[in-house]
Amino acid sequence: DVKVTQSSRYLVKRTGEKVFLECVQDMDHENMFWYRQDPGLGLRLIYFSYDVKMKEKGDIPEGYSVSREKKERFSLILESASTNQTSMYLCASTRSNQPQHFGDGTRLSIL
Amino acid sequence: KQEVTQIPAALSVPEGENLVLNCSFTDSAIYNLQWFRQDPGKGLTSLLLIQSSQREQTSGRLNASLDKSSGRSTLYIAASQPGDSATYLCAVINAGNNRKLIWGLGTSLGVNP
C-alpha cells in the first residue's frame, strides 16, 4: 500500500514564524501536491511538483513556497506565518492517471 | 473554467438504504473523474476512478457512473452502513492537464443505525 506521511498531525506556531511542513511518500510517485482545506471552501491547491526540483503554482500560492530536493519528499514552507494561514494542510502523491494518495493532514494553528 | 458541484451538501439516511450521491461538472472535456471519501479530521481515501472513455466503475457496494455529455457522475452506495458515514468528494482532471484535480465541496453523509 502507498504510504504518504506528513510530519505532524497538529502544529501551533506564532505569527511571523517560518513554518515547515514535510511530506514523504514511499511509492516512487513523480507527482506530489500540497492542498489546504477550509470549511465552505473545500480543497484548494497551493503548489504541486511533477519531478525533483520542479514545481508549479496552484490556485493559492501566495505566502507559500515549496521544495523538492528528493523524489520522495515535498516540503511546504510558510515564509512568514499569518493567522489567515490557520488551516488543515493535506499532502498527496500520485503517478500519472492514477488516484491521488493522501496523508492524514496537518492541522496548523497560527496564533 | 471547470466547476464541480455536488448536491446535496448533506444527507442523512437510515441504515440499509440504497443511496445516490451526485456530482456535476461544467466542461465535458475531462481526462478522468475520481471519487474520494474523507473521515472527520483525516486525509482522503480514493474510492473509484473513471476514465473518460468508461461509463462506470464498481468496487464492492460502490458503483460510480459517468455521463460525460451531460456532465454528470453518480456514486451509488448499496445497503448503507453506519461505517459509510463520511464526506464524499468528487473531482475531475481536465483533458490536456492530467495532473491537477478540480474538486467539488463534497456531500456529508450520515447513516443512522
Residue B75 has pLDDT above 90, yes or no: yes
Measure the CA–CA gap between A23 and A100, rounded to whole angstroms.
Answer: 14
Give residue B41's pLDDT. Answer: 87
Mean pLDDT of A24-37: 95
Residue B98 has pLDDT above 70, yes or no: no
- Indicate which of A43, A93, A95, A102 best probes the interface with B, i.e. most B CBs within 10 Å of its own CB: A43
Chain B positions touching A99 (Cβ under 8 A) are 34, 36, 46, 49
Which of A7-16, A67-76, A91-100, B47-56 has the lowest average pLDDT?
A: A91-100
Residue A4 has pLDDT above 80, yes or no: yes
Q: Which residues contact A98 (CB under 8 A, 6 or more apart)?
A: B49
Give residue B96's pLDDT. Answer: 80
User: What's the pLDDT band for B95 if we cut at 50, 70, 90?
Assistant: confident
Residue B36 has pLDDT above 80, yes or no: yes
Nearest-CA distance B96 → chain A (Å): 12
Give residue A57's pLDDT. Answer: 95
B25, B3 Cβ separation under 8 angstroms: yes
User: What's the pLDDT band for A96 if we cut at 50, 70, 90?
Assistant: confident
Mean pLDDT of B5-20: 96
Measure the CA–CA gap between A45 and A7, rounded to whole angstroms.
Answer: 19
Residue A2 has pLDDT above 80, yes or no: no
- The predicted-structure confidence for A44-86, as pLDDT tens digits, reads as follows 999 999 999 999 999 999 999 999 999 999 999 999 999 999 9
Which of A23-27, A92-96, B16-20, B36-40 has the lowest average pLDDT?
A: A92-96
Residues of chain A whose beta carbon is less than 8 angstroms from a beta carbon of chain B are: 4, 31, 40, 42-43, 45, 48, 50, 58, 90, 92, 96-105, 107
